[in-house]
């Protein structure tokens, strides 16, 4: 069975305080974006043996193509394989073959790895008739990463606490256009969080987002920009270029490094972006 795990942008991100468990509480609107990986899961043929180096514990044969996945390349560390094993602990799953074609940039603030993990949970649920509710699938996803539960439903949400608790939000950007610019620079989420100084916002993000998008430029802020823009001046340059190109609103997504612009008409990719990885679409 095939799935196309898509990514997200953060529209505003207020880091309010550091928690006792070392994580941070935040306020952010997560909005789905249709840049996708490709994930296929099929039951493993009975003749498959564990001699293959990609076979993990005789249960998952995991292969990848497309973008290389940095960090620990062992299949067992991939979020898709971790999602399988988490469900396997509670359900009678057969051995599977999984193939992930990686398209969404990594260390990009787009949540691509979390999307793959959530897609694995959703696929296994359907493919093997596990009968899990949305709430059950979100609980499993929460164990794999803070922003993973969002991708179970993959719809606009106002996210609070670790980014894993949701409140409904009336945020509809349909008809507008988005341009994502990944500056070919990976920023790890843990590194980005290590540099932030959380603070309670004067006005909560939800109130700021009630204003029309044309007013967001001066009000809706991603707090990661405060520490990452001085460290990587290129990011601030790209954000300024997105406004120069006519964006109604532009921002860093999540913990970076992707910048996005939202436009009222199809944006013309101006020359400065040609050396980066760009993706554009109607929302
Ligand atoms: C920053 C955000 C914003 O949407 O997205 P990305 O930029 O990664 O896409 C998320 O909070 C990222 O969520 P996720 O990528 O799932 O993070 P996790 O794997 O749970 O945590 C990685 C590390 O980030 C820090 N962390 C993460 C979430 C959080 N609310 N507070 C934290 O301090 C912790 O140091 C943790 O060890
Ligand atoms: N399926 C996957 N896709 C991408 N990254 C993965 C995957 N599985 C595990 N990872 C690990 O997650 C890290 C990327 O996470 P993170 O920095 O949070 O990215 P992002 O900010 O893009 O969400 C990578 O270094 C990689 O080792």
The last residue of a domain, from among 117, 144, 166 = 166
Domain co-membership, 37 together with 120: yes
**pLDDT digit string, tens, across residues 63-95:** 999 999 987 778 889 999 999 999 999 999 999
Domain co-membership, 82 together with 142: yes
**pLDDT digit string, tens, across residues 161-171:** 999 999 999 99
Residue 213 maps to which CATH number? 3.30.70.890
Distance CA 160, CA 167 (A): 8
Domain co-membership, 124 together with 192: no
pLDDT at position 50, please?
46
Domain co-membership, 149 together with 35: yes
From the CA of 113, give the closest atom in ligand 1: 15
Pairing of strands 96-102, 177-182: unpaired
Domain co-membership, 90 together with 228: no
How far is ligand 2, taken at its centre, from the CA of residue 205, in Å? 27
Domain co-membership, 144 together with 177: no
- The answer on whether 106 is annotated among ligand-binding residues is yes
Domain co-membership, 54 together with 192: no
Assess whether the C-beta atom of 149 lies below 6 angstroms from ligand 2. Answer: no
Pairing of strands 177-182, 259-263: antiparallel
Domain co-membership, 49 together with 18: yes
Cα 274 from chain centroid?
23
Domain co-membership, 190 together with 278: yes
Active-site entry in 147, 164, 223, 239: 147
Distance CA 214, CA 195 (A): 30
Quote the ipTM score.
Answer: 0.96
- Return the best residue to mutate from 113, 277, 279 for the ligand 2 pocket (most ligand atoms within 8 A of CB): 113
How far is ligand 1, taken at its centre, from the CA of residue 113, in Å? 12
Which residue ranges in the chain fall short of pLDDT 70? 46-58, 269-271
| Structural domain total, the chain | 2
Question: Residue 179 belongs to what domain range?
Answer: 171-282
Domain co-membership, 73 together with 40: yes
Which residue puts its alpha carbon closest to atom 32 of ligand 1?
23
Beta bridge partners of 281: 178
pLDDT at position 91, please?
97
Per the annotation, the verdict on 147 as an active-site residue is yes
**pLDDT digit string, tens, across residues 119-141:** 999 999 999 999 999 999 999 99
Domain co-membership, 209 together with 255: yes
Domain co-membership, 112 together with 75: yes
Omega within 30 of 0 (cis) for the link into 101 = no
Which residue puts its alpha carbon closest to atom 25 of ligand 1?
190
Distance CA 35, CA 24 (A): 27
pLDDT at position 73, please?
72
């Amino acid at each position: 069975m095939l799935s196309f795990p898509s990514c997200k942008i953060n529209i505003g991100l207020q880091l309010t305080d550091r928690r006792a468990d070392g994580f941070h509480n935040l306020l952010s609107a997560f909005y789905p974006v249709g840049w996708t990986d490709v994930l296929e899961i099929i039951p493993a043929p009975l003749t498959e043996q564990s001699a293959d180096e990609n076979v993990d514990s005789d249960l998952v044969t995991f292969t990848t193509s497309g973008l290389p996945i940095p960090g620990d390349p062992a299949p067992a560390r991939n979020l898709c394989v971790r999602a399988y094993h988490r469900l396997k602990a509670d359900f009678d799953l057969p051995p599977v073959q999984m193939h992930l074609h990686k398209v969404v940039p990594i260390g990009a603030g787009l949540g691509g790895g979390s999307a793959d993990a959530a897609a694995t949970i959703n696929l296994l649920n359907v493919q093997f008739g596990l009968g899990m509710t949305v709430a059950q699938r979100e609980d499993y996803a929460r164990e794999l990463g803070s922003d993973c539960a969002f991708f179970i439903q993959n719809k606009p949400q106002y996210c609070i606490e670790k980014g894993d608790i949701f409140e409904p939000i009336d945020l509809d950007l349909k008809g507008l256009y988005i341009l994502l610019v990944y500056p070919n620079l990976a920023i790890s989420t843990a590194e980005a969080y290590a540099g932030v100084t959380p603070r309670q916002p004067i006005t909560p993000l939800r109130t700021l987002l009630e204003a029309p998008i044309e007013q967001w430029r001066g009000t809706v802020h991603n707090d990661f920009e405060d520490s990452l823009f001085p460290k990587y001046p290129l990011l601030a340059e790209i954000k300024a270029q997105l406004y120069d190109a006519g964006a109604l609103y532009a921002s860093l997504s999540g913990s970076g490094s992707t910048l996005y612009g939202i436009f009222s008409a199809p944006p013309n990719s101006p020359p400065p972006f040609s050396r980066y990885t760009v993706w554009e679409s109607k929302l």
